[in-house]
Amino acid sequence: MADILKSEQSSSSVEHIEAEKGVAPPFLDATELILNMGPQHPSTHGVLRVILKLDGEKVLNTECVIGYLHRGVEKIAEHRTYTMFNPYVDRMDYVAAVSNGLGYCEAVEKLLNMEAPPRARWVRTILTELNRIASHQLWLGTHALDIGAITPLFYTFRDREEILKIFEKYCGARLTTHAFRIGGCLYETYDGFEQDVKKFCDFVTPKVDEYETLLTTNRIWLERTKGVGILKAQDCIDLGVTGPVLRASGVKWDLRKAQPYAAYKNFEFEIPTGQNGDTYDRYMVRIAEMRQSLRIIRQAVDSIPEGPIMGKVPKVMKPPVGEIYHSIEAPKGELGYFIVSDGSTQPYRIRVRPPSFVNLQALGKMVEGALMADVVAVIGTLDIVLGEVDR
Amino acid sequence: MPVQELTPVATPYFFYGLSAVAVLSAIGVIMRRNPVHSAISLIFTLLSLAGLYLMLYAPFVAGVQIILYVGGIVVLFLFVIMLINIERMEREYQFNKQWLVGLLAATVLGVLFVAVYVKGQAIFPQHAVRFPEQLNTQQVGKMLYVDYLLPFEIASLLLLVAIVGAVVMAKKRI
Amino acid sequence: MQDFLNYLNSNLTPGQAGAYIWVVIYILIIFAAVSVAVIAMNWLERKILAHMQVRLGPMRVGPHGLLQPFADALKLLLKEDIIPANADKLVFWMAPLVVVITAFTTYIVIPFGPTHAVTDMNIGILFMLGVASLGTLGIIMAGWASNSHYPLLGSLRSSAQMVSYEVAMGMAVVSAVLMTSLSGAGVYGIGPGGGDAIGTLSMIEIVRAQMNQHVWFIFKFFPLGLAAFGIFAIAMVAETNRAPFDLPEAESELTAGFHTEYSGFRWSLFFLAEYAAMIAVSSIAVTLWLGGWMRPFPHWLGGTAWDTAFSLFPALTFFFLAGLTLRTTVRMPKTSYFKIQKTGLGVFGLLLGGIGLVLLVPLVRDRIQDIYWFTIKVAGFMYLYIWYRGTFPRYRFDQLMSLGWKFMIPTGVGVLIATALVGVL
Amino acid sequence: MEITTLHYLVVAAALFIIGTIGVLTRRNVVIILMSIELILNAVNLNLVAFSRLYGLHGQVFSIFVITDAAAEAAVGLGILIAFFRNKETVNADEIDLLKF
């Protein structure tokens, strides 16, 4: 036991090992034990590894070990042209690939000092919001599964399938869409795109209510989520937590309103917030966000302008020397791209601010003194995607 | 329901079999190095004793033996063994320095038992009183609540004290 | 040989009558029937759960996945048998056996009918609870012997959970046992036969008491019987480690709990034991509160005509199932690819119909109808188990404990005291 | 051969002696507690065996003994846990201070 831990332990856990070296290994204190959750574990949403120090069921300390899915995306960018790097960003948050692409394309457009044509911006908004719904549906299904409710998973996947069908019809890919290009969108919308999206909106509106019938007033669900993993508004701001997690703590901060991008300033929608900042509030905020997204999509489809879908971009992209930071509201929080250009065809440096990575830092604070089962619930409620945490 | 006498079959075989299991696993309890193995041996002893109670027409005691001893006390033992550090215990000496004295005392005790049984054989009535087995539980219940009401209440008080005591002892901070 | 056949005319269980060959036959029948029931449950659970979750479930192996359980069993038997390197081999080997043996031993005293039990013990219900509680030992042994932290946590959870819920379960059971002897001065319109009768722990006698008092205990001293039944119904889910109380094997927290390190045949023994235990505990509930083998309204709708009408139910059920199957067969796609599937389903439907025909024979009909009513009631509980699993999230450990100790046990004691008071008054 | 009361008494005596040896010679407190359970069980067997001869009083008393055993195990193991938490040992030899 001690040997295993020592061989591949992160620094702070090694301290425990040092402390117990004198005495016998497996139990640190009389009843404490170290539990290695992950990297292969059903509910760490990928290859997250959490080292838990437990007293019976109670969590005394947590330690996140990440990097099992590290692919060096940011380093790869330094050896690719701006256009060539575009597909790579889809592989970061693979359940919300469209948002990633949007953020990157807009950042590079900002660097090139240009703007996509209006029709492209409208289409981008529709697809991004669809993707937000898909991401939240996946989150809801897996989060409920973590807490032990197996049925919502199948309901949400059934409805997510409709979104993926629209994606597939639009660009041929379902998951890593690569839908947008720098300067607009490559593809014109297919015939019946508007009808498909509208039909989907009508289809999914009652389904969101259906998810709620299963969970919102379920006694066990309330007991498992209310008061679990509380994160105060100040803590959120201190830790840099963004997205639904921040809004559930009562901070009304949404980049779609604060720094409107794409076509968001043309649409009416509300920013749902919670008060307590517990798991239940985050659940309610995300459910409300799905409804708001539907509202945005309906408005966007009705007002989609005519015109070209691709702006005029130079064949060889050589942005002027300089640096740019552009961030969008991805389903999981603020997704920012910081690009430094040295005037060549390749970026000098790209740094991604992934929402999951930053949100994951709150895990330790949220599970302080909680039980083992809460750790799973909290990992679920943070809505992390390891592709994005490790990049 | 007519009260009927059961005719036991193959009683001696059952008796010898159960006794052998009981005694051998009792030896296992005190000889095994690993406390979990000891506890499992204890389970076998207790279960075979329950079988012996059944042979003695005491089904209620047998049931209580299974449900309380095996289902309760041994689970408690196993629970505690899991909490404490076994690996270290297994590496240590299992017996203390007074094993010689202990063995001597046990031998003396054994001799005493033999003497009592040999001398006192005449005292035991040879023929057993027959109880209707069908009503065993009812009779035991009646006796508990009529003849032994006060001891019964004292036992319940004892259990209460034991619960409070165990909680006070085992809790880190109260 | 004469003795052997004589038993059929007696109205005692084989254990009481001392017909030892019949005891063995009964044990074999029960063992086979429970195994078949577990296989059927496996298929039904997948199908029902699938249809609750807008999917189809197994469809490929055999028509409508009917052969899926057999395929699974074959797969599990052929799997490599892995014992972890640092596991305690003896205990690791013993644990599944303990669980299976205890789960099956309880069936000795379950009365499927007035004479359809292996034996009638005078401590029947005590024996059942005791032996059922031994299953915990197997789980603890499995968790400890695996020498891994997930199983250890699972078995710690399981032991704490089972010991806590056993108390509430015991309270509910005792209140039902009390009801066998108390008539409540006829206030609740309960028929004769209670009064000064002596209470009993024997499973058969408990059902007989319900028969004599003309009431199922779930309706006796309304709502006390219902409350006791409710407590038992919750506690029995916790006892069998099923959702929403499946903490010992919570797959999202402990990967698979106490059987994380088990695979292949040993794992399938755990699976078998879990389902056998579910059926056994449901049988206790049926025996104590739902009138055991009695058909609905044996007194209100009494008389020979009604008896005959109700005795046709088993055959009718099988005809109904056969009809369903044949209808599905007809509705299958009419391509040659489905030929084997179609034939298989058709044969299955005809088999069901054939069983239905056999059940129409008066001799069989009379012997089988008790078993039928008992099985139908147990099947209701099995459906509930599946339904819970599809609906509820999982409890957390402290919530489970506080539910057990702060709600179930006080309520159980209260119901027990109230039952005693109402019965004596 | 008929099984008489004496047979049961012999078994009980054997269990009692084994339990005594366990209590006197083992160092592990858990095993000592188990040996005490063995002794109590031997007594129970005697009581039940005699109840065949003298009426049900023996069985009633054996139920009291089981109750007692439960209480003893609970308190004993509680003390053991408290002790292990402080000294990290369950050896009876090392429990020789009157305080911890």
Q: Model confidence over D20-31: pLDDT tens digits? A: 888 888 888 888
A48, A65, A82 — which closes off a domain?
A65
How far from chain centre, in Å, is Cα B65?
7
Antiparallel, parallel or unpaired: β A322-330 and A184-185: unpaired
**pLDDT of res. A304:** 86
Let me know whether A221 and A106 are in one domain: yes
The more confident residue out of C209 and B152 is B152
The more confident residue out of D99 and C64 is C64
Alpha helix (H) ranges present in A265-333?
279-302
pLDDT at B8 over 60: no
Let me know whether A359 and A253 are in one domain: yes
Let me know whether A92 and A35 are in one domain: no
pLDDT at B1 over 50: no
The domain tally of chain A equals 2
Q: How confident is the model at residue B166 (pLDDT cuts 50, 70, 90)?
A: confident
Let me know whether A279 and A341 are in one domain: yes
Let me know whether A260 and A204 are in one domain: yes
Give the range of the structural domain holding residue A24, as residue numbers without chain letter. Answer: 2-65
In CATH, what number is assigned to the domain containing residue A191? 1.10.645.10
A65, A84, A113 — which closes off a domain?
A65
> What is the CB neighbour count within 10 angstroms for residue A112?
20
Alpha helix (H) ranges present in chain A?
2-7, 11-20, 73-77, 82-90, 97-112, 118-147, 151-171, 193-215, 219-225, 233-239, 244-248, 255-258, 279-302, 355-360, 363-366, 372-382, 386-390
Percent of chain C residues topping a pLDDT of 70: 92
**pLDDT of res. D80:** 82
Residue D86: φ, ψ to 5°: -90, -40
pLDDT at C186 over 50: no
Rounded Cα distance, A129 and B50, in Å: 69
Judge: D85–A23 Cβ closer than 8 Å, yes or no.
no
pTM: 0.84
Let me know whether A108 and A212 are in one domain: yes
Q: Establish whether this prediction's ipTM goes over 0.90.
A: no
**pLDDT of res. D49:** 84
- The DSSP secondary-structure symbol of D28 reads B
Rounded mean pLDDT, A14-20: 45
**pLDDT of res. B129:** 57
Which of the residue ranges A323-332, B10-19, C360-369 has the most confident prediction, judged by mean pLDDT?
A323-332
Judge: C393–A36 Cβ closer than 8 Å, yes or no.
no
Rounded Cα distance, A141 and A38, in Å: 20
The answer to which of A101-105, A236-240, C255-259 has the lowest mean pLDDT is C255-259
Rounded Cα distance, C413 and B156, in Å: 15
pLDDT at A7 over 80: no
Judge: B9–C20 Cβ closer than 8 Å, yes or no.
yes
The answer to which of C19-23, C234-238, C344-348 has the lowest mean pLDDT is C19-23
First-to-last alpha carbon distance for chain B, in angstroms, is 54
pLDDT at C185 over 60: no
Q: What does the mean pLDDT of chain A come to?
A: 83
| A347, burial (CB in 10 Å: exposed 0-12, middle 13-18, buried 19+) | buried
Touch A-D: 3+ C-beta pairs under 8 A: yes
Q: What does the mean pLDDT of chain D come to?
A: 83
Q: Which domains does chain B have, with CATH numbers?
A: 11-130 (1.20.120.1200)
Let me know whether A212 and A356 are in one domain: yes
**pLDDT of res. B45:** 92
**pLDDT (tens digit per residue) in A27-80:** 444 567 778 887 888 777 778 888 888 877 788 888 888 888 888 888 888 888
Touch C-D: 3+ C-beta pairs under 8 A: no
How far from chain centre, in Å, is Cα B154?
21
Chains with 3+ CB–CB pairs under 8 A to B are A, C, D
Rounded mean pLDDT, C69-97: 86
Rounded mean pLDDT, B63-79: 85
Let me know whether A77 and A32 are in one domain: no
Interface of A with C (CB under 8 A): 33-36, 41-43, 54, 56-57, 144-151, 153-155, 158, 214-215, 218, 220-221, 223-224, 371-374, 376
Tokens 């949400």, residue?
A: A156
The more confident residue out of B110 and D89 is B110
**pLDDT (tens digit per residue) in C327-346:** 888 888 878 887 888 888 88
The more confident residue out of B170 and C410 is C410
Judge: B52–D45 Cβ closer than 8 Å, yes or no.
yes
Q: Distance from D31 to chain A by nearest Cα, in Å?
A: 19
| Residue B84 in contact with partner chain A when CB distance is under 8 A | yes
- CB-CB contact of C239 with C273 (8 Å): no
Task: Please give the residue of chain C at the shortest CA–CA distance from B72.
Answer: C163
Q: How confident is the model at residue B25 (pLDDT cuts 50, 70, 90)?
A: very high
Rounded mean pLDDT, C402-408: 88
Query: Which H/E stretch holds residue C3?
Result: helix C2-6
**pLDDT of res. C6:** 67
Rounded mean pLDDT, B85-98: 68
Give me the residue spans of the domains in chain C.
Answer: 2-294+394-424
- Nearest by CB to A220, which of C247, C389, C392? C392
Tokens 């957390």, residue?
A: C396
| Residue A29 in contact with partner chain B when CB distance is under 8 A | no
pLDDT at B173 over 70: no
Q: How confident is the model at residue C8 (pLDDT cuts 50, 70, 90)?
A: low
Q: Which domains does chain D have, with CATH numbers?
A: 5-93 (1.10.287.3510)
**pLDDT (tens digit per residue) in D40-58:** 999 999 888 888 777 788 8
Task: Please give the residue of chain A at the shortest CA–CA distance from B88.
Answer: A24
Give chain B positions within 8 Å (CB) of D91.
92
pLDDT at A11 over 70: no
pLDDT at B76 over 50: yes
**pLDDT of res. B157:** 92
Judge: A27–B88 Cβ closer than 8 Å, yes or no.
no
**pLDDT (tens digit per residue) in D62-94:** 989 998 888 988 888 888 887 777 777 777 777
**pLDDT of res. C317:** 86
**pLDDT of res. A1:** 41
- Nearest by CB to B63, which of C18, C126, C199? C126
| B38, burial (CB in 10 Å: exposed 0-12, middle 13-18, buried 19+) | buried
Give chain B positions within 8 Å (CB) of D78.
165-170
How far from chain centre, in Å, is Cα A117?
27
A75: closest CA among A319, A375, A390?
A: A390
| Residue D85 in contact with partner chain A when CB distance is under 8 A | yes
Tokens 């990157």, residue?
A: A104
The more confident residue out of A40 and A161 is A161
A159: closest CA among A137, A178, A177?
A: A137
pLDDT at B32 over 80: yes
The more confident residue out of A12 and A107 is A107
**pLDDT (tens digit per residue) in A180-204:** 888 888 888 888 888 888 889 999 9
* Sign (positive or negative) of CA dihedral C64, C66, C70, C73: positive
Rounded mean pLDDT, B54-64: 84
Task: Please give the residue of chain B at the shortest CA–CA distance from A33.
Answer: B83
**pLDDT of res. A28:** 42
A299: closest CA among A129, A100, A133, A170?
A: A129
The answer to which of B125-134, C86-95, D16-25 has the lowest mean pLDDT is B125-134
Rounded Cα distance, C412 and C166, in Å: 11
